[in-house]
Amino acid sequence: MSDFEKYLSQRTDTYFKRTREIVRCHGDRSVTYAVFMRRPVIFCPRLAVDWLEEAARERSTHFEIKLCFEEGERVGAGEVLLYVSGQMSDLVDLETIYLQRLGAPCVAAYNAYQMCTDLPQVRFLAMDARHCAGDGMVDLMAYAASVGSARAIADCGALGFVAGANDATAHYFGQSQGFGTMPHALIGYAGSTVRAAELFRETFPEAPLTVLVDYYGREVTDGIAVCNRFADLATEGRLSLRLDTHGGRFVEGLDTATSYDILEQQVPEATRTYRTETELRWLVGTGVTAAALYHLRANLDAAGFGQVQILASSGFNPAKCRLMSQVKAPIDAIGTGSFLPESWSETYATADIVAYDGIAEVKVGREFLLQKKVVI
């Protein structure tokens, strides 16, 4: 048994393996599968198709794969994504694996697309790897972010996702290596925010300098101190401050009343529109809020550092990005892994046989899969 067959035997569902043995014993048939999802998505077929083609090579056979949409195209709930045809004995036990490589990326790409189109002038950094369940998922999610981003760039000229967090997936964003700012661990190691920035600059003098400023709860004070220490970079627009304050406290200088006052000055309609509790928290609550971003921006500008950019992180999912767009929050870049699907059941792709030996046949209730639309 080849390594591929050993892997497949361990990873595929048992009822598919048993069906394969039945078919091999009692006579093969040619079949066509239709694959669909139950929610709108952005089509991300490449990694699933690559795996199917590799499976065909391993089994010395050929699959006819017909895509119903272009990569990056929007697909409605229930629309067929692709058709796969071949011998049943070669295809029946592959479903578990190729569906794993299709559903989740399609949902993550949809999320990434929404975020990029809502904030088209913001650069996004994919910081999802630590939230992924293994290397395979890291690849799937980086690929998804790149596809959703590319569609947003094409649709509205968005800046989109410009980099990822590690070297293995950098190629999806047209980069040779991952992008990294600095973790809280470096601030603690250095003993101060300014010293951490100095150590980073000394060690990586050519790398962009983005400094995390929330470690000591002095986002404004430490941010200004960093700008003063690297005044040349600050005035040249080559310095960024990253705001990652956790949801358990306010950014330095803020409380609920002050946060409301800031939004009243900047975007009075923000809190005069009906908001959910979650939206109000993102506007005027603790953590990285719209008020906090306006507050930091105002303090930087008042200190003469209007060219310093703000990179925001901490829970920037599609809904939070949409809200930040509505209130025109001053954000230059967002680091996020929150384009990952929040409801995993929405990532389930489904495959059904729709033809045996060239004759249409599908289980009752799935007749809609017989309406073909093929682009490739």
Can you spell out the DSSP letters for 118-177?
HSTTSEEEE--GGGSSSHHHHHHHHHHHHHHHHHHHHHH---EEEEESSGGGGGGGT-SS
Does 240 share its domain with 271?
Answer: yes
Residue 369 is predicted with a pLDDT of 85
Domain hosting 265: range is 108-336
Is pLDDT of 133 > 60? yes
Does 187 share its domain with 326?
Answer: yes
Is pLDDT of 372 > 80? no
CATH number assigned to the domain comprising residue 359: 3.90.1170.20
Does 96 share its domain with 172?
Answer: no
Does 157 share its domain with 126?
Answer: yes
pLDDT digits (tens, 9 = 90+) for 214-261: 999 999 999 999 999 999 999 999 999 999 999 999 999 999 999 999
Does 18 share its domain with 93?
Answer: yes
Kindly report the average pLDDT of the chain as a whole number.
95
pLDDT digits (tens, 9 = 90+) for 326-358: 999 999 999 999 999 998 899 999 999 999 999
Residue 376 is predicted with a pLDDT of 45
Domain count, the chain: 2
pLDDT digits (tens, 9 = 90+) for 115-126: 999 999 999 999
The reply to whether 375 falls in a domain is: no
φ/ψ bin of 231: left (φ > 0), alpha (ψ from -120 to 50), beta (otherwise) = alpha
Does 120 share its domain with 139?
Answer: yes
First to last CA, the chain: 34
Percentage of the chain lying above the pLDDT 70 cut = 98
